Amino acid sequence: MAKKTKTYTGEVISDRMQKSVVVVVKSLYQHPVYKKTVKRITKLMAHDPEGLSKAGDTVSIMETRPLSKNKKWLVREVIKKA
C-alpha cells in the first residue's frame, strides 16, 4: 500500500535563496492539560525550481525525498499571490 505524502499550506516568508523558499505553516492544537487552544508555527524550507513564489505568497507544499540538509519539501503550486 502506497504511503500518502504530507501536504501543507503556508505563507512564504523568505525567497532570498536560489530555488529555495522558507514557508511558515501555522496550526492550532489543544493543550492536553489546560485545554487551551495554542498556535504552533513551523518553518519549513521548500524547493522552488522555477522561482515562481515570492515573499508573502500563499503556497501548497508536499513532502519529498531529502534534497539537501534542510530541504525536504517541494512547492506544488502558488495558491495566492501577495
Provide the pLDDT for residue 4: 83
What are the two backbone dihedrals, phi and then psi, of residue 75, each rounded to the nearest 5 degrees? -75, 120
Q: Say if pTM beats, i.e. exceeds, 0.75.
A: yes
Domains, the chain, with CATH or none: 7-80 (2.40.50.140)
Provide the pLDDT for residue 3: 76
Provide the pLDDT for residue 77: 96
Provide the pLDDT for residue 1: 59
CA distance 73 to 6: 9
Nearest partner of 63 among 74, 49, 53, judged by Cα: 74
Q: Which three cell numbers stand for residue 39?
A: 498556535
Per residue in 14-69, pLDDT tens?
Answer: 999 999 999 999 999 999 999 999 999 999 999 999 999 999 999 999 999 999 99
Cβ atoms of 74 and 46 within 8 Å: the answer is yes
CA distance 32 to 57: 33
